[in-house]
A and B are shown apart, each in its own frame.
Chain A
Amino acid sequence: MAKLPAGTLYRGKVGMWSWVLHRITGVAIFFFLLVHTLDTALVRVSPEAYDAVINTYKTPIIGLGELGLVAAILFHGLNGIRVILIDFWRKGAKYQNVMFWIVVVLAALLFIGFAPRHLAHVFHWNV
């Protein structure tokens, strides 16, 4: 019988890898959002419950995780705009490549602006 091909990795370019990243970041944000909705709901349970849970977030490990989350959101959000431009702007397809690098640079700049401050918060540095 006919066989299905075993795969090696397809060597797509920017378009494909940006989509892979968009997907991964989307999933990550989704799962965070589920948790985040639940933990925020604790405000209705009691302030103590809420603060107790939130305090467990204030450890360095979760803090670093949050850093990742922010990076994911930055990329996902900005790349989402790129995708929207490809869909709706006549020249979008032509400039998709350039736009990807703009997304990367913008996300990186925002991240660089954010990261030190966040780390300072997490590790109680005085800024």
Chain B
Amino acid sequence: MSAETKKIGEIPSYKVTLFVRRFNPEDGQEARWEDFDVEVFGTDRVLDALHKIKWEQDGSLTFRRSCAHGVCGSDAMRINGRNRLACKTLIKDLDMSQPIYVEPIKGLAVEKDLVVDMNPFYQAYRDVKPFLIASDKPAKERLQSAEERARFDDTTKCILCAACTTSCPVFWTDGQYFGPAAIVNAHRFIFDSRDEASEVRLEILNDKEGVWRCRTTFNCTEACPRGIEVTKAIAEVKQAILVGRR
């Protein structure tokens, strides 16, 4: 960084070591750890460090990213053993005296380096009918009170990053489990006062791979970069199956 482009005063810089889990389907080798030393600034995120590696040291390092500020959901990965968005994890918030471990999210097949096959995850999402089902054809907007709107506000925040589902111990061992993200997105419609198909979705999630699979381990809630109370949403869906939507 040259002096004139420095924006927020003197930003301290540090040297950190990243251990990145590498896998390339084309080189015939097993997945392995590889370490890189990078110089980072106080405001840098893990994504910046990965970019530095890719741009300055090893162009073949592969990961997904787009928005770089936690709204597109591209870059969920396991950072120091926990699912995080690389673009929302400030390096200074990690213990910098230790190496930083970065590996792909767990439970989905690794395609290359930090890239996993997201299709099963998307399929579970699509399986819960994540869209408004309403038969009326209003000329203007449907009315909805602020309270009714607030009922499902939390679960509208989901960016489908899969941090939750791939932090779930049940999903790791049972890939058939719908997973928290699908339930969150079902919740978003089940509790939308305009929707008419909550029964259908509840029936889908009453499946043997549905909500009953959840063991309330809260990993999903802790992993969610959008701060969605995932476990609570799952509990609400369970209640709705038992005693109806309230």
Judge A-B direct contact (beta carbons within 8 Å).
yes
A2:B82 contact, CB within 8 angstroms: no
Would you call A124 an interface residue if the criterion is a C-beta within 8 Å of the partner chain's C-beta atoms?
no
Complex-state Cα separation, A88 to B215, whole angstroms: 14
A8:B101 contact, CB within 8 angstroms: yes
B31:A6 contact, CB within 8 angstroms: yes
| Contact status of A11 and B106, CB under 8 A, knowing A6-B31, A83-B216 | no
Contacts of B30 in A (CB 8 A): 3
B217:A86 contact, CB within 8 angstroms: no
B106:A7 contact, CB within 8 angstroms: yes
Looking across the interface, which residue of chain B has its beta carbon closest to that of A100? B218
A3:B217 contact, CB within 8 angstroms: no
A2:B25 contact, CB within 8 angstroms: yes
Chain B 216-239 residues near chain A, CB threshold 8 A: 216-219, 221-222, 229, 231-232, 235, 238-239
How close is B75's CB to chain A, nearest CB, in angstroms? Answer: 16
Bitwise interface map of A from 78 to 121 toward B, beta carbon under 8 Å scored 1, else 0: 00000100111000111010000000000000000000000000
Would you call A38 an interface residue if the criterion is a C-beta within 8 Å of the partner chain's C-beta atoms?
no
A5:B216 contact, CB within 8 angstroms: no
| Contact status of A16 and B81, CB under 8 A, knowing A86-B231, A93-B231 | no
| Contact status of A5 and B167, CB under 8 A, knowing A12-B217, A13-B222, A87-B235 | no
Complex-state Cα separation, A83 to B235, whole angstroms: 11
Complex-state Cα separation, A19 to B105, whole angstroms: 21
Chain B 199-228 residues near chain A, CB threshold 8 A: 215-219, 221-222
Looking across the interface, which residue of chain B has its beta carbon closest to that of A14? B218
B31:A5 contact, CB within 8 angstroms: yes
Chain A contact residues: over half helix, strand or loop, or mixed? loop
Contacts of A2 in B (CB 8 A): 25, 109-111, 117
B218:A94 contact, CB within 8 angstroms: no
Would you call A10 an interface residue if the criterion is a C-beta within 8 Å of the partner chain's C-beta atoms?
yes
Would you call B21 an interface residue if the criterion is a C-beta within 8 Å of the partner chain's C-beta atoms?
yes
Would you call A127 an interface residue if the criterion is a C-beta within 8 Å of the partner chain's C-beta atoms?
no
Residues of B within 8 A of A (CB): 21, 23, 25, 30-31, 78, 80-82, 101, 103-107, 109-111, 116-117, 167, 169, 172, 215-219, 221-222, 229, 231-232, 235, 238-239
- The 7 A-B residue pairs with the shortest CB-CB distance in the complex, in nearest-first order: A15-B218, A11-B81, A93-B232, A2-B109, A19-B217, A16-B217, A12-B219
Q: Could you show 9 A-B contacts with beta carbons less than 8 Å apart? A: A2-B25, A2-B109, A8-B101, A9-B81, A11-B81, A15-B217, A15-B219, A87-B238, A93-B221
Residues of A within 8 A of B (CB): 1-16, 18-19, 83, 86-88, 92-94, 96
Taking A5-B21, A5-B103, A12-B169 as known contacts, 15 extra A-B pairs with beta carbons closer than 8 A to each other, sorted by chain A number, are A2-B25, A3-B30, A4-B110, A5-B106, A8-B101, A10-B78, A13-B222, A19-B215, A86-B216, A86-B235, A93-B232, A93-B235, A94-B229, A96-B216, A96-B231
